[in-house]
Each structure stands twice: as C-alpha cells, then as structure tokens.
C-alpha cells in the first residue's frame, strides 16, 4: 500500500483521483481524511500573475540576501564551534528484553545518578511479575541458577539512546549472553550476568570501544530472586595487546564521562566540531594503551 501524501494531490487530475478513491474502502477513507478533493480544487485554480511591484520587491530581496552573504564571507572566520558533550541525564534509553524471539518488555528508562551508568529495574521487574510475562527468568532467580547458561543464551537485550534536545537516536546495540560471563558472590545474594554486543560501538584503526550490558540479580535468604538493575559500561580493546593473558585484547574500562562524550559524538554535532571531538576520542587510550602493553610484557 502506498499512502496518499497531500503534496502529491496537486499532480493528479480529477479522473485519476476518482479512480484512486474507488479502488478500495481503505483508499476512499484516505482520500476523505486528507481532504484530497479540496487540495485538488485549489491546485486547479489559475495562478495569479505577478505584477511589476511584486517582481521589483522580489528582485530587491534577492540582492539584499546576496549582500548579506557576501558581508558574512568578508569577515574574519569565526572560531569553530566547541563540542559540548551531553550529560547522561540528557538522554532517555529505550530498552527491550526478549526471550527466544518473544518480546518480554520494552520501555523508556532514565539513568540513575552515580559514578556509573545504570538503570533501576525494580519497577520493571514488579510489573513483569504481576503480568507473569517472564516465567523463565522468575524460575532462574528463584532456583539458585540451575542450568543458567542454557537459559540466558535465549535472552537478548536491546538498547537505544535518545537525546532530548533534538531526538537524535544512537543504536547502542543488541546484547546476548555468551554462556560463560556470570559472577555470583560468595554469599549467593547477588549475581552479575554479562551480555556482550554483536558489534563495536566505535571502531578506529588502532582500537575499538564496545558497550557491555550487565543484569544485576538478587537472591534473598528464602531463595526468592529479582532483577534489580541494568548496568552499561564501555570497554576498550586493541589488537596490540592480543596475547596471553588477554587474548581478546582488553585494555581498560572507560569512565562515565567518556561514555557521555562518546554518546554525544555519535548522536551528532556541528560538522566543524566533529574533527576535534574525534581526535579527543582517539587520544583517550594512547597512554593507557602503552601502560597496558608494559603490564602484559613477559620478561
């Protein structure tokens, strides 16, 4: 189905619009809702000829605009606009949980204050439990992680960041459990389940930055579990340190301010500010990279 766009009506004639509206009930309703016949009638009216006064005024305005442009070009070049990174509070995060291809929950979340980027999933988990829409996860967190690896591999987490000022969206990726990354504390009261992205969030010739998602689960003394939080962190990898004991090339974990800077850059900025911002991102891990190489150097 091709929707009837109002700007296209003026290019139709009465016969074609009549045939269009008679094709189906849906299209007839579309013609009525867009007021296509009124638009077509206005388009068929003869255009008013422009008098000499209008032509003269248009000519004067054209000269004024070209003079203003020439004046702007003759001035000293202004300094390039500075890149101002947004704070994490200036973004909304759209999050979706899936299990085996079935959508469990999706909605907007706000990052919580603190030195790390994390989201409170307490209200979300309570709503899920009331709806009984995620029995697999409820069974997992209340049975002390029986066969957790096979189950978590069916779970997917998708995250999209939306900047408030211009609704610019950044696809942060879809995250899956790799079957190994889980950390349960010695008291069995909290478990961290690590989900990896399919692709890097940022890549350069020397390194890439990957966003990792962590589900924070809790267990009480009675064995009743809950999904408490979702954490996001950016990790830096480089082929220069791909060796034992870091076969994946792990270098470091980025700070929250670096995540804010990267999100702001990916969401878009003035074209004159992109090069300096990119240079800043490229220089983040220069020193840390060589420190990491020294740490892993085998005597």
**pLDDT band at residue 299, thresholds of 50, 70 and 90?**
very low
What is the domain extent for residue 154? 88-296
Per-residue pLDDT of 225-266, as tens digits, reads: 789 999 999 998 888 777 655 567 788 899 999 999 999 999
Is the same domain home to 39 and 93? no
Residue 166 has which token pair? 């211009």
Is the same domain home to 172 and 92? yes
Is the same domain home to 16 and 156? no
Of 90-99, 110-119, 183-192, 264-273, where does mean pLDDT reach its minimum? 183-192
Cα–Cα distance, 180 to 143 (Å, whole number): 19
Report pLDDT for 11: 80
Report pLDDT for 186: 59
Q: What does the radius of gyration of the chain's CA atoms come to, in whole angstroms? A: 28
Kindly report the backbone phi and psi dihedral angles of residue 186, in degrees, each rounded to the nearest multiple of 5, phi listed first.
-65, -25
Residue with tokens 């074209």, as numbered in its chain? 271
Percent of the chain with pLDDT over 70: 85
Is the same domain home to 166 and 275? yes
> Average of pLDDT values for 210-226?
82
Specify if 58 maps to a domain.
no
- Helix orientation angle between 25-33 and 36-44, rounded to the nearest 10 degrees: 60
Q: What is the mean pLDDT of the chain?
A: 84
Number of domains in the chain: 2
Report pLDDT for 17: 82
Per-residue pLDDT of 107-118, as tens digits, reads: 999 999 988 899
Per-residue pLDDT of 133-171, as tens digits, reads: 999 998 888 775 666 778 899 999 999 999 999 999 999
Is the same domain home to 224 and 125? yes
């Amino acid at each position: 189905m091709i929707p009837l766009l109002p700007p296209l009506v003026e290019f139709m004639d009465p016969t074609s619009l009549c045939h269009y509206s008679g094709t189906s009930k849906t299209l007839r309703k579309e013609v009525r809702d867009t007021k296509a016949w009124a638009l077509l009638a206005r388009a068929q009216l003869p255009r008013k000829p422009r008098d000499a006064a209008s032509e003269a005024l248009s000519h004067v305005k054209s000269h004024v605009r070209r003079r203003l442009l020439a004046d702007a070009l003759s001035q000293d070049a202004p300094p390039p606009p500075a890149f101002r990174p947004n704070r994490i509070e200036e973004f909304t995060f759209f999050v979706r949980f899936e299990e085996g291809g079935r959508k469990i929950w999706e909605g907007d979340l706000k990052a919580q204050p603190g030195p790390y980027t994390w989201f409170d999933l307490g209200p979300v988990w309570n709503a899920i439990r009331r709806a009984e829409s995620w029995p697999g996860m409820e069974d997992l967190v209340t049975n002390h992680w029986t066969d957790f690896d096979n189950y978590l591999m069916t779970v997917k987490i998708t995250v999209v960041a939306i900047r408030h000022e211009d609704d610019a969206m950044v696809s942060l990726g879809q995250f899956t459990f790799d079957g190994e990354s889980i950390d349960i504390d010695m008291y069995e009261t909290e478990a961290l389940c690590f989900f990896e992205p399919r692709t890097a969030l940022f890549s350069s010739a020397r390194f890439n930055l990957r966003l990792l998602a962590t589900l924070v689960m809790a267990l009480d003394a009675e064995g009743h579990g809950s999904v408490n939080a979702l954490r996001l962190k950016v990790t830096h990898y480089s082929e220069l340190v791909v060796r034992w004991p870091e076969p994946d090339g792990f270098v470091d974990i980025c700070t929250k301010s670096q995540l804010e800077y990267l999100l702001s850059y990916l969401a878009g900025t003035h074209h004159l500010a992109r090069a300096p911002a990119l240079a800043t991102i490229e220089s983040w891990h220069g020193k840390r990279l060589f420190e990491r190489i020294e740490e892993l150097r085998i005597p």
